Amino acid sequence: MVPDKHFLITLAHTKMPFGKYKDRYLIDLPEYYVVWYHNKGFQKES
């Protein structure tokens, strides 16, 4: 699998849109939070 460079760049510039870590870059979120959120289920955009 070859990573999509444009997707990775977009992801690197994406901020958390809500919650405790709102406006923080996703890459800067604590690992435990990302794991917890993944297990909980990602919120659908409205």
Mean pLDDT for the stretch of residues 12-37: 91
Q: How confident is the model at residue 25 (pLDDT cuts 50, 70, 90)?
A: very high
* Structure confidence at residue 45 (pLDDT): 57
- For 9, 11, 16, 38, 46, the CA distances from 27, given in Å and listed in that order, are 11, 8, 10, 14, 23
d(CA 20, CA 8): 24
Q: Is the pLDDT of residue 43 over 70?
A: no
